Amino acid sequence: MSASVAVYRNIYTEDRFRQAYGTEEQRGRERLSRRLAQRCSCSQVDCAHLLKKRVPVCNWLPKYKLRKWILGDIVAGLTVGIVHIPQGMAFALLTSVAPVYGLYTSFFPVVLYMIFGTGHHVSTGTFAVLSLMTGKVVEQLVPTPLALNSSSPEAAEFEAQRIGVASTVAFLSGIMMLCMCGFQLGFLSTYLSEPIVKAFTSAAAFHVTISQLQSMLGLRLPRYTGAFSLFKTLGSVMENLPHTNVAELAISLLCLAVLVPVKEVNSRFRERLRTPIPVEIITVIIATGVTYAFSLDSRYNIQIVGHIPAGFPKPRLPALETVPEIAADTVAITLVGYAVSVSLAMIYADKHGYSIDPNQELLAHGISNTVSSLFTCFPSSATLATTNILESAGGFTQLAGLFTSLVVLIVLLLIGPLFYFLPKAVLACINVTSLRQMFLLFQDLPDLWRISRIDFMVWLVTWLSVVVLNVDLGLAIGVIFSMMSVICRTQRASCSVLGRAANTEIYRSIHNHNKCYEVPGVKILTYNGPIYYGNRSFFKAEMTELLGLTPEKIRRREKAIKAIEKREREAISTVEQGVADSSFSSKNDLFRTEVSEGEVQAVLIDCSSVIFVDVAGARLFIQMCMECQKIGVRIYLSNCNESVLKILTSSGLMSYINPQHIFVTVHDAVVYIQLQREKPQENNAMVWV
């Protein structure tokens, strides 16, 4: 089916269109004052709205559909709680603190996010990447002594110092998030693009795996930090392979032989399984029982978890004296934790048809980290594995977090001390196998290469930087490289010549559309990017090349125009004296032919793709207008957005260009230019398409 469009209307300049359809300035002021008055007002309705916005549980809990949602939330919450127990203890080892602190971090943030979070399917708690980054800070400030008796008073003091540093990182991270929420800086997470986040998490998985090798092999080695730490750790492990504890190696191999296949079954058949098989907690229970029954810790010198105190920790302030030393690392931890959390929340919100508030997520995670740090917790965030389990197990709302925290609470109050004989090698295996999703991120690379080579390079540079250097430095390099790629793309934006499709008002690049033809005497240009100090020289070079504004051409055209003006003055003088020069007309036409034949008489710049202009860009426009005036070429603009037009006007461009030469569309400008040639005095022209 083919259809046609016919339009018959006036030619609109920007001024004329604003007069006909624009908003009156006074009305705009009244609207602004009304908005300010509404913001400053305080009523019972406003307070209720604010409460529901900042404490979302007050909004969704009264609307909770008990019969429809409660069963799914109970099953999903209990399933995630069972997974949290071994993962919390395992990720505590990554953080270089005792396993019990992983259980605390699996309890307090879950309860707080349930109250303040907006993601219905988000599961918070310990996250491998954040634990690894926090562990690096802990190792720098409180390095592990090679000879330390785990039952000595010095060991207790050593553990207190370590968790003091880790909880201070959580406290400072929470404060940073709360400040970001206060300044409405939720958008900052957008600077961690999807390729950066995926490459970073995939590379961090390698760091986690290498760091767990010593526990899986039963080696007592120092933990390396700083640049090239992955290779230093790997070299140290290879050097000490002869000292491997065979019993711990056997335990690790048995655990991997159980964990890997069962996790693969959970992944492939998650649509058929009502809940995933809780292989981690089963492995933990069996390994603890076997170690206790056969006294493996004393007979084969196996490293075990040791004493896990029952009950809650006493609230205490973190080691605030370490804040200056951890501030820089905490910034990276904060941005990574928030970016991962918001990304996960948005993915599942889009999937299930609801929305989240990024700034409220900042508040939720800020409160979670700040309050949890007072109970000796390390930094927490949304987690990939447990969020996926929560959604696939049938969770509907944040209430699933209540049942998750109940499972962890029971372990803390009653069952925790029973894990005394749990081998650390088992926790290391749980750490490694929990990274399956992160390693699978390599599958995105072929599609990324096909869609965008630049994003592929961002992924690759970030991954290599994190692996070769270290986690935080690699992340910084990835962000800088990503931002530089954006800057380079704006600097090298294309400038093209537009032609008109016959009998239409459609204008497209003649380079890509060979059946679109240039309007005679009019050069229509479009620039696909902003015009600012960073790319003004490239923009000028592109325009100069397309218009042929070389210094020689400008001088030649100036001489020709001056010659015409001189002969016109002589002709006027001759006429005033009563003498007619019969040869003037033919000579003048000869000069005009020299100036105009085959030359551009008007330049129309389509600004529809120019998103912003700074002062340097505005001055460049003025310079171009002056150069075009020297050679007798008029400049026209079209499709300028409000901000671009405001900056150009404020910069004094209207002193060099007629305000009536700024049009709403390209076609308006073209019709006006053509009519001016035929009927220079015609003002009320119409557009017919």
Instruction: Report how far residue 472's alpha carbon sits from residue 260's, in angstroms, rounded to the nearest whole number.
Output: 29
Backbone angles phi, psi at 241, to 5 degrees: -55, -35
- 664: three-class secondary structure by DSSP: coil
What is the average pLDDT value for the chain, to the nearest integer? 83
List of residues 6+ apart from 527 with CB closer than 8 A: 493, 494, 495, 539, 542, 605, 607, 609, 610
SS3 state of residue 274: coil
Three-class secondary structure of residue 661 per DSSP: helix
The token pair at 605 is 């710049």
Percent of the chain with pLDDT over 70: 87
Nearby residues of 659 by Cβ (< 8 Å), 6 or more positions away: 13, 14, 15
- Which of the four pLDDT bands, split at 50, 70 and 90, describes residue 276? confident
Q: Among residues 594, 565, 571, 566, which one has the least CA distance to residue 584?
A: 571
pLDDT at residue number 650: 87
Cα–Cα distance for residue pair 83/308, rounded to 1 Å: 18
pLDDT of residue 594: 45
Percent of the chain with pLDDT over 90: 25
276-300 average pLDDT score: 88
Q: Decide: 278 and 263 in contact? Cβ < 8 Å.
A: no
**Among the ranges 211-220, 258-267, 362-371, which has the highest mean pLDDT value?**
362-371
Residue 516 has pLDDT above 80, yes or no: yes
Under the banding of pLDDT at 50, 70 and 90, the label for residue 621 is: confident
Query: 466: Cβ–Cβ under 8 A, 6 or more apart, which residues?
Result: 199, 200, 203, 204, 207, 474, 475, 478
3-class DSSP state of 595 = helix
Rounded to an integer, the average pLDDT of 141-159 is 73
**What tens digit of pLDDT does each residue of 106-123 get?**
999 999 999 999 999 999
CB-based contact 169:405 (threshold 8 Å): no
The one-letter code for the residue type at 479 is V
Question: How far is the C-alpha of 649 from the C-alpha of 615, rounded, in Å?
Answer: 11
Nearest to 259 by CA among 409, 161, 385: 385
Is 598 a residue whose pLDDT tops 60? no
Straight-line distance from the first to the last Cα atom of the chain, in angstroms, rounded to the nearest whole number: 20
List pLDDT tens digits, range 383-414.
887 888 888 778 899 999 999 999 999 999 98
Pair of tokens at residue 318 = 């973190």
Maximum distance among all Cα pairs of the chain, rounded to whole angstroms = 129
124 exposed, middle or buried (CB, 10 Å; 0-12, 13-18, 19+)?
buried
Q: With cut-offs at 50, 70 and 90, classify the pLDDT of residue 339.
A: confident
**Is the pLDDT at 599 greater than 90, yes or no?**
no
Burial class (CB in 10 A: 0-12, 13-18, 19+), 241: exposed
Residue 22 is given by DSSP the state P
pLDDT for 34 equals: 67
Residue 687 and residue 9 in contact, taking contact as beta carbons nearer than 8 Å: yes
**Structure tokens, 191:** 């600077």
Tell me which of 373 and 657 has the higher pLDDT. 373
If one counts every other C-beta atom within 10 angstroms of the C-beta of residue 88, the result is 25
Compute the distance between CA of residue 263 and CA of residue 43 in angstroms, rounded to an integer.
54
- Residue in the structure block whose two tokens are 């609307």: 63
Residues 6+ apart with CB under 8 A from 676: 682
385: CB partners within 8 A, 6+ apart? 83, 87, 434, 437
Which of 260-264, 658-662, 676-680 is least confident?
A: 676-680
Contacts 24+ apart (CB under 8 A), 444-447: 444/198
Helix (H, G, I), strand (E, B) or coil at 498: strand
Is the pLDDT at 595 greater than 60? The verdict is: no
Q: What is the pLDDT of residue 461?
A: 94
More confident of the two residues 381 and 392: 381
Q: How far is CA 336 from CA 38, 103, 194, 322, 663, in A?
A: 36, 22, 12, 21, 46
Best-predicted range by mean pLDDT (70-79, 185-194, 568-577, 620-629): 70-79
Does the structure show a pLDDT above 90 at 491? no
Helices (DSSP H) in 494-651: which residue ranges? 536-547, 551-576, 584-596, 615-630, 642-650
Q: Measured between alpha carbons, how far is 638 from 669 in angstroms, rounded to an integer?
A: 7
Task: Look at residue 26 in the predicted model and tell me its pLDDT.
Answer: 47
Q: Judge whether residue 582 has pLDDT over 50.
A: no
**Distance (Å, whole) CA 505 – CA 203:** 52
Q: What is the DSSP string of 103-159?
A: HHHTTHHHHHHHHH---TT--EE--HHHHHHHHHHHHHHSPPPSS--TTSHHHHHHH
What pLDDT digit, counting tens, does each position of 195-236 carry?
Answer: 888 888 888 888 888 888 888 888 888 878 778 888 888 999
The residue with tokens 């910069």 is 651
635 touches 661 (CB < 8 A) = yes
Tokens for 377?
């917790």
Residue pair 416/313 in contact (Cβ under 8 Å)? The answer is no
Q: What pLDDT digit, counting tens, does each position of 64-88 carry?
A: 998 889 988 998 899 899 889 988 9
Q: How confident is the model at residue 587 (pLDDT cuts 50, 70, 90)?
A: very low
Indicate if the pLDDT at residue 622 is higher than 90. Answer: no
Stretch 282-293: mean pLDDT, rounded? 91
- Whether residue 304 contacts residue 435, with contact meaning beta carbons closer than 8 Å, is answered with no
For residue 415, give the DSSP letter: I
Is residue 600 helix, strand or coil?
Answer: coil
- CA 197 – CA 200 distance, rounded (Å): 5
Tallying the residues shown for the chain, one arrives at 689
Residue 6 vs residue 675, higher pLDDT = 675
Residue 103 has what pLDDT? 93
Select the more confidently predicted residue: 572 or 471. Answer: 471
Q: Is 623 left (phi over 0), alpha (psi -120 to 50) or beta?
A: alpha
Partners of residue 496 on adjacent β-strands: 526
Dihedral in degrees, nearest 10, Cα atoms 329, 166, 115, 121: 70
pLDDT of residue 592: 46
Rounded distance between C-alpha atoms, residue 614 and residue 536, angstroms: 10
Confidence tier at 683 by pLDDT (50, 70, 90)? low
**CB of 611 within 8 A of CB of 641?**
yes
584 pLDDT tier (thresholds 50, 70, 90):
very low
Residue 588 has pLDDT above 50, yes or no: no
At 38 the pLDDT is: 63
DSSP string, 311-379: SPPPP----GGGHHHHHHHHHHHHHHHHHHHHHHHHHHHHHHT----HHHHHHHHHHHHHHHHTTT---
The C-alpha atoms of residue 124 and residue 635 are separated, in whole angstroms, by 59
Over residues 549-572, the pLDDT tens digits come to 666 766 676 676 677 666 766 666
Q: Residue 499: which H helix or E strand, with range?
A: strand 495-501
Bigger pLDDT: 599 vs 396: 396
Of 241-245, 417-421, 437-441, the one with minimum mean pLDDT is: 437-441
Average pLDDT value for residue range 366-372: 95
Range 446-450 average pLDDT:
91
Q: What is the mean pLDDT of residues 5-31?
A: 72
Determine the pLDDT at residue 410.
92
pTM above 0.75, yes or no: yes
The helix or strand, by DSSP H or E, that contains position 303, with its residue range, turns out to be none
Q: How many CB atoms lie within 10 A of CB 50?
A: 11
